[in-house]
Amino acid sequence: MTKLAAILDQIDSGSVLLPEFQRGYVWNRDQVRGLMRSLYLGYPVGSLLTWEARADGSPARGETTAPSAHRVLILDGQQRITSLYGITRGRPPAFFHGDEQAFAGLWFHVGDETFGFCPPAKARDDPRWVDVTSLFTRGLEPHVGLLNANPATRPRIVSYVERLARLRQVLDRDLHEEKITGEDKSIDVVVDIFNQVNSGGTKLSKGDLALAKKCAHWPGARAAMRTHLDRWEKEGFFFTLDWLLRNTSAVATGRAGFGALDPVTVADFQQALESAASYVSQFLDVAVGRLGLDHNRVLMGRYAFPVICRMLRLAGGDFADPAAADRVLYWYIHSALWGRYAGSGETVLNQDCDTASRSGVDGLIGALERRRGGNLAIDGQDFAGAGQGSRFYPLLYLLTRVHRARDFGTGLPLDTQLPACPTTLRPHHVFPKAVLHAAGYAPVQVNAVANFCFLTRETSLVLAKHEPAEFCRAVEARHPGALASQWVPQDPALWRVDRYPDFLAARRELLATAANRFLDGLRSGRAAGSWQSLERLTVVAAETADGDSRANQLMTLVAELVGLGCADPAVDCEVADPATGEVLAIAEACWPEGLRPGQGNPVILVSDPAETDLARLRELGYEAFTSADALRGHVRRRNQGPAAEPPLEGMAADAQITATRM
């Protein structure tokens, strides 16, 4: 048995650390509150599993001094110990990586003995709220003095002091500690033990396991990878460690599977990582400058990057000429449009890496053509999806950028920078949402991809409530050709609300024609060298109109669920079948890793059940909800009663099942 206070002191001294293969801190406020409540009430909070390892063979996070011959690494209990350390010390431990707001600002109500993350204003209104961190860092005296000085709390000062003293005494709790020792306990053995212990909780993924093995010999591997991920995030692109590891594997081994990294030496892995990061950045520059894919929402086909990295490696770091680069872009766009890597895709990735090694990009294009029955041409119906999560939404944005589409308000190309006024674009509904809702169109029709265009923020706000029959005539008169530059049909009869379905059909055909012409130019090499580099633009979400009740409800729901401890969801996103690549749903909101990352099944909220393959989603492990109230009730039930106690590591948390993440 080990006292909690002693464990925290050992973290301060640097003798208790975290193994490098462990992921970072993932708890939320609800779990932190549940832990403190259990400690205060004397409930069981689980045991601690540690590994006594040699300093020269067990990479660890949090070292601040020269390592001793042996140190203790936390295998099971990281979330609990980190939470307690952060609350009682007022800062995260040295090995921390995550969101420290999860345990910052915890308060204790001495009247009803509850814990909460209440705002300071609420605490000022009720003197019985006590800052828990302050209680541990400053001691009892200042808080007792405040309670005794207040006429409202003085009558019960004795019981209040007793409760505060009991709270401080949680650090005297004994925690059962099991230790793994012995020279035969290699990191591979320990990682296997870790996964067995966490079989019901947050298991290490295959990527984590592969990275753990590399960290055994290169402790800085994870930090080096995060440096690249952080750099791309600053540029507006969000990738995962697993994704970067696949790119690294493709460079080092010619295979995208994690297992291929096992025999790769540390030196070769380091070199491959730097090369992969360079290739990714190089291709991102092309995606922005050549295709205009300048933000995360429209970066299609990110799972094709390992194959692209492999091709760049084989080509010596650069493509032979602009025409060769254009053929790679042709393949890249089509692989994204047809869901080449829509599922877990490791087998397909390895096949394509092999094809790239044997036959280059022409072989990859041929493989796609065979899969599509010999024809990669885009049909108007391919633009029939809905929402910004649709697979063809990025293609619409790409066409808008490469054709230098014009703004309806100024008549100028959208990338024209006016003096002292940087261009900010917004996705805009040609037929405004409020107008279509009033006419009785369903959400899937309102948010059709063919109803989107891109305008400057100022123009979008002006046109948001005007019917197309009104503003299209004015735009055509003032700026001839501006409508056509965004593939708006020229027949004025199609600008009427009652002809909206016909408008969509006509615009889809125009978009398909433009897409095929551009893509054919990439494949043939006719466009190589004739283009000007596109500048990065700022694209922001459309402002919610007062009449768009559904969007307002969704924003309210998301804010409420995040407040209840849920992760931020992906909104308006496409969910595909991992086996076939077929689109199963356009989700209003989706939590592919569970409402709390790594805990529970993926969750999806859809507005149109008739357009959703609910049966297949459930087969894939999704918890599907068709109303905001049903999802809200589900989350609240989870947070009530005994179920509100958060599952601790190694205890009964639901297994993670995902259908769309690689």
Residue 20 to residues 59, 246, 437, Cα–Cα distance (Å): 5, 19, 53
- Per-residue pLDDT at 661: 33
Residue 320 pLDDT class (50, 70, 90 cuts):
confident
- Are 492 and 472 in contact by the 8 Å Cβ rule? The answer is yes
Residue 569 lies in a domain: yes
pLDDT above 90 covers what percent of the chain?
Answer: 47
Tell which phi-psi region holds residue 296, choosing left (phi > 0), alpha (psi between -120 and 50) or beta: alpha
Residues 6+ away with beta carbon under 8 Å from 334: 340, 365, 368, 376, 519
Q: Are residues 581 and 470 in the same domain?
A: no
Find the mean pLDDT for residues 488-514: 97
Asked if the model's pLDDT at residue 89 lies above 90, the reply is yes
Q: Are residues 423 and 498 in the same domain?
A: yes
What is d(CA 178, CA 75) in angstroms, rounded to the nearest whole number?
Answer: 10
- Per-residue pLDDT at 417: 64
DSSP 324-344: HHHHHHHHHHHHHHTTTTSS-
- Give the torsion sign (CA, 72, 74, 80, 82): positive
Q: How many domains does the chain have?
A: 4
- Residue type at 600? G
Q: Are residues 433 and 556 in the same domain?
A: no
Residue 189 structure tokens: 């053995």
What is d(CA 340, CA 349) in angstroms, rounded to the nearest whole number?
Answer: 9
Residue-wise pLDDT tens digits, 211-229: 777 876 787 888 899 999 9
- Per-residue pLDDT at 608: 73
Residues 6+ away with beta carbon under 8 Å from 246: 207, 256, 258, 306, 349, 662
Residue 320 lies in a domain: yes
Residue-wise pLDDT tens digits, 97-148: 888 888 999 999 999 999 988 777 777 788 899 999 999 999 999 999 999 9
- Per-residue pLDDT at 59: 54
Per the DSSP assignment, residues forming a β-bridge with 448 are: 386
- Per-residue pLDDT at 411: 94
Between 92 and 608, the higher pLDDT residue: 92
For the question of whether the overall pTM of this predicted structure is more than 0.85, the answer is: no
Q: Are residues 343 and 402 in the same domain?
A: no
Closest CA to 198 of 654, 595, 603, 660: 654
Q: Are residues 430 and 335 in the same domain?
A: no
- Residue type at 596? R
Q: Which of 488, 512, 539 is the last residue of a domain?
A: 539
Between 621 and 400, the higher pLDDT residue: 400
Asked if the model's pLDDT at residue 647 lies above 60, the reply is no
- Are 23 and 77 in contact by the 8 Å Cβ rule? The answer is no
- Per-residue pLDDT at 378: 96
Q: Are residues 176 and 208 in the same domain?
A: no
Residue 649 pLDDT class (50, 70, 90 cuts):
very low
Q: Are residues 348 and 397 in the same domain?
A: no
The stretches of 387-467 forming alpha helices (DSSP H) are 393-402, 433-438, 443-446, 457-463
- Per-residue pLDDT at 386: 83
Asked if the model's pLDDT at residue 167 lies above 70, the reply is yes
Residue 268 to residues 224, 232, 263, 548, Cα–Cα distance (Å): 14, 23, 10, 54
Q: Are residues 427 and 397 in the same domain?
A: yes
Q: Which of 50-54, 127-131, 290-294, 359-363 has the lowest mean pLDDT?
A: 50-54
- Are 661 and 576 in contact by the 8 Å Cβ rule? The answer is no
Asked if the model's pLDDT at residue 523 lies above 60, the reply is yes
Find the mean pLDDT for residues 232-253: 93
- Are 290 and 483 in contact by the 8 Å Cβ rule? The answer is no
Residue-wise pLDDT tens digits, 344-399: 568 899 999 999 999 999 999 999 999 888 889 999 999 998 888 888 999 999 99
- Are 566 and 635 in contact by the 8 Å Cβ rule? The answer is yes
Residue 189 lies in a domain: no
What is d(CA 355, CA 378) in angstroms, rounded to the nearest whole number?
Answer: 24
Q: Which of 479, 514, 539 is the last residue of a domain?
A: 539
Residue 450 lies in a domain: yes
Residue 443 lies in a domain: yes
Asked if the model's pLDDT at residue 654 lies above 50, the reply is no
Tell which phi-psi region holds residue 53, choosing left (phi > 0), alpha (psi between -120 and 50) or beta: beta
Q: Are residues 358 and 464 in the same domain?
A: no
- Per-residue pLDDT at 651: 30
pLDDT above 70 covers what percent of the chain?
Answer: 84
- Residue type at 168? R
Name the residue range of residue 452's domain: 392-539
Q: Are residues 400 and 342 in the same domain?
A: no
Q: Are residues 600 and 638 in the same domain?
A: yes
Between 418 and 405, the higher pLDDT residue: 405
Between 173 and 641, the higher pLDDT residue: 173
Residue 650 lies in a domain: no
Residue 382 lies in a domain: no
DSSP 79-133: HHHHHHHHHHHSS--TT--S-GGGTTT-EEETTTTEEE---HHHHHH-TTEEEHH
Between 165 and 188, the higher pLDDT residue: 165
**Spacing of C-alpha 66 from chain mean position:** 36
- Per-residue pLDDT at 466: 87
Residue 24 pLDDT class (50, 70, 90 cuts):
confident
Residue 655 lies in a domain: no
Closest CA to 503 of 459, 441, 460: 441
Asked if the model's pLDDT at residue 653 lies above 60, the reply is no
- Are 363 and 356 in contact by the 8 Å Cβ rule? The answer is yes
Average pLDDT of the chain is: 84
Strands 129-131 and 623-625: what pairing? unpaired
Asked if the model's pLDDT at residue 640 lies above 80, the reply is no
Residue 644 pLDDT class (50, 70, 90 cuts):
very low
Tokens 């990294």 belong to 261
DSSP 199-218: TTS-PPPHHHHHHHHHHHH-
Asked if the model's pLDDT at residue 54 lies above 80, the reply is no
- Per-residue pLDDT at 228: 97
- Per-residue pLDDT at 36: 93
Q: Are residues 420 and 333 in the same domain?
A: no
Find the mean pLDDT for residues 78-92: 93
Helices and strands of the chain, counted as H and E runs: 25, 17
Q: How deeply is 496 buried, as exposed, middle or buried, from its count of CB atoms within 10 A (0-12, 13-18, 19+)?
A: middle
- Per-residue pLDDT at 657: 26
Three-state SS at 560: helix
Residue 63 pLDDT class (50, 70, 90 cuts):
low
Strands 107-109 and 114-116: what pairing? antiparallel
Residue-wise pLDDT tens digits, 427-448: 999 999 889 989 999 888 898 9
- At CA 237, angle to CA 587 and CA 558, rounded to 5? 35
